[in-house]
Chain A
């Protein structure tokens, strides 16, 4: 059977691949959206933190023989801790200033981090094998689905919706949202707002590292792996609406699918389709699809 001249099997497989990529975008853009929404910082070091997650998983496996499952928890915690230190020592001083300062600082940090990794590990990258429990694949009839990719979808969506639930539906989330809305009043009510903000940045960074560990068995673990992805993820956040939690998740998955379809019909445009959509959305809805106009 053919749809628009494309065999349906090929179309189905491309949509599934789009969904996999979309779930990556969702986890990464979610971290960015939380940090921007609650801290007002445009975290340009997100790609470098994603790369750090992947490298820590690789180092843990090759140097310390720590397996994938432990790394999936430990690497985000370590990188999250690194984020906490950054927030405490540097970012904290910038909250009152224009967004641009935060962007420049985190961009500079990203360059330094990537430079250090490049110096240590070279540019060709390292291979991280798919963990044994997730190796192999299932033949779906229209395509061969690697089990690991199916796991990526499940793991990303679980984390995304868990995070959304925590921020939108729990008391802790309510404190967070209130704290960013009017920190003085919330502080007067006895809540430690600075600690809450530190925790939020650490969590956003940990999400990036989590995506990094998920990506390690799929891509070569390479010092520049994050810088290639980060621009697309920024576009996702802008389309979803800066700071919108649900927006970033839905847009991430949606754009993954659209990118997948573009690869079927006109592969040359697959690298720019996200940006074309971004331009259209900015023209029609400057606050993004899910954002509230300021």
Chain B
């Protein structure tokens, strides 16, 4: 064997080892993304199959644009809004199926259960669906990102705007469980801080269907604003029945957690003039319109902020893996927190040490039927709430990871 040949054999061997090394950086040779969402229950329209679609779009776009040297796979499952089902599924995914990240996770109880499993298994949890603030406060950990919105941002947007515009006295209609109470508490604090007064509240069973008794109570309180600290069908039924009993327009309603799908199902006649806070609207600019129309082409519904946030969070996660060349949880999380997020969903979004992704939020007012010019033309953007003001400041954080 000549020296030349020896060198070339050595080089080939070295190259082979190197490339094997690069491959080994991705566990199992593939980045596996699990979408754990509500595919059949109350939240299946605002997250559900639309969130799975958004994930697949993110993966396709990432492969087309970034040409990664690793394989990506998407799996999905229905958690039925039950924490035990969700944590079992997440455990199975992490332990046996090599899933690298559990994503979406709508419903607070599901989110809290899965983030614990993720921490135990050192995998990443990307949350675009759940709402409650404990995710980045008391319960926070270093493998979770709370991406799209939270109850603080919603209350801060809607309750502040309504109080400042003269809605000084409030009465809350609250779903009688952890989420409703959290939302009421956050909103009441914002109302009082802005010079308003809370006259009282009534807790309704969850889920409810007839709200007329509770609405009559709210009516007799004489409050200017009835704050709806509930979600989904509870909110839509309450709004519908408030109109029926002549409560609106003498008193106004403030939906504290509403999605564009709720407005779509209630129609503009019933919802016109209402304020709500969103993290995304399909009709904001050319970029949001282009993406949303692609989404609409498949789903036949415009995306909610949860679905748009899902796309953005998955894309950001994959970009971080590409940048660090591994799917190791610690390195990927560090990279995700280091890189700013700039896409159609967020401009200069950043992930803080408590896991909160901060980005601009929007205060919307629902259009009158006469103002709506084309399908899904539902909102007037009344205010862009800058990222720095939209979310709970780190100084108020109750997360142990935050150094003060």
User: Is A20's CB under 8 angstroms from B216's CB?
Assistant: no
Would A126 and B265 be within 8 Å (CB), given that A10-B216, A263-B213, A267-B214 are in contact?
A: yes
Q: Which residue of B lies closest to A114 (CB)?
A: B40
A118 to B282, CA, bound (A): 24
User: Is A228's CB under 8 angstroms from B246's CB?
Assistant: no
User: Is B213's CB under 8 angstroms from A260's CB?
Assistant: yes
Chain B contacts of A127 at CB under 8 A? 240, 265-267, 270
Residues of chain A at interface, number, CB under 8 A: 41
CB distance from B369 to the nearest CB of A (A): 12
Chain A contacts of B216 at CB under 8 A? 10, 13-14, 17, 143
User: Does B296 sit within 8 A of A, measured CB to CB?
Assistant: no
Q: Which among B42, B43, B204, B233 has the highest number of chain A CB atoms within 10 Å? A: B233
User: Does A225 sit within 8 A of B, measured CB to CB?
Assistant: yes
User: Does B122 sit within 8 A of A, measured CB to CB?
Assistant: no
Q: Which residue of B lies closest to A217 (CB)?
A: B244
Would A17 and B236 be within 8 Å (CB), given that A124-B265, A144-B245 are in contact?
A: no
Q: Mark A111-152, 1 if CB is under 8 A from B, else 0.
A: 000010010001111110110000001000001101011000
User: Is B233's CB under 8 angstroms from A146's CB?
Assistant: no
Question: What's the A-B contact tally at a CB cutoff of 8 Å?
Answer: 103
User: Is B212's CB under 8 angstroms from A122's CB?
Assistant: no
A10 to B301, CA, bound (A): 42
Would A123 and B209 be within 8 Å (CB), given that A220-B265, A267-B202, A267-B203 are in contact?
A: no
A166 to B46, CA, bound (A): 47
User: Does A81 sit within 8 A of B, measured CB to CB?
Assistant: no
What interface size band does chain B fall in? 35 or more
Q: Which of B202, B207, B245, B269 touches A137 (beta carbons < 8 Å)?
A: B245
User: Does A271 sit within 8 A of B, measured CB to CB?
Assistant: yes
Q: Which residue of A lies closest to B40 (CB)?
A: A118
User: Does A66 sit within 8 A of B, measured CB to CB?
Assistant: no
User: Does B121 sit within 8 A of A, measured CB to CB?
Assistant: no
User: Is B212's CB under 8 angstroms from A225's CB?
Assistant: no
Q: Which among B43, B44, B210 has the highest number of chain A CB atoms within 10 Å? A: B210
Q: Which of B40, B203, B217, B261 touches A10 (beta carbons < 8 Å)?
A: B217
Q: Which among B245, B266, B270 has the highest number of chain A CB atoms within 10 Å? A: B245
User: Does A98 sit within 8 A of B, measured CB to CB?
Assistant: no
CB distance from A141 to the nearest CB of B (A): 13
Q: Which of B42, B202, B244, B269 touches A123 (beta carbons < 8 Å)?
A: B42
User: Does A270 sit within 8 A of B, measured CB to CB?
Assistant: yes
A228 to B206, CA, bound (A): 10
Would A125 and B212 be within 8 Å (CB), given that A218-B244, A271-B205 are in contact?
A: no
Q: Mark B236-275, 1 if CB is under 8 A from A, else 0.
A: 1100110011100000000000000110111101100000
CB distance from A158 to the nearest CB of B (A): 21
User: Does A108 sit within 8 A of B, measured CB to CB?
Assistant: no
Chain B contacts of A125 at CB under 8 A? 233, 236, 265
User: Does B45 sit within 8 A of A, measured CB to CB?
Assistant: yes
Q: Which among A7, A127, A149, A268 has the highest number of chain B CB atoms within 10 Å? A: A127
Chain A contacts of B45 at CB under 8 A? 122-124
Chain B contacts of A122 at CB under 8 A? 44-45, 261, 301
Q: Which of A143, A144, A219 touches B237 (beta carbons < 8 Å)?
A: A219
User: Does A60 sit within 8 A of B, measured CB to CB?
Assistant: no
User: Is B209's CB under 8 angstroms from A228's CB?
Assistant: yes
User: Does B370 sit within 8 A of A, measured CB to CB?
Assistant: no
User: Does B220 sit within 8 A of A, measured CB to CB?
Assistant: yes
User: Is B209's CB under 8 angstroms from A219's CB?
Assistant: yes
Q: Which residues of A contact B (CB under 8 A)?
A: 7, 9-10, 13-14, 17-18, 20-21, 115, 118, 122-127, 129-130, 137, 143-144, 146, 148-149, 218-220, 222, 224-225, 228-229, 260, 263-264, 267-268, 270-272
Of the A-B pairs whose beta carbons lie under 8 Å apart in the complex, a sample of 6, sorted by A's number, is A10-B220, A18-B213, A124-B265, A125-B236, A127-B240, A272-B205
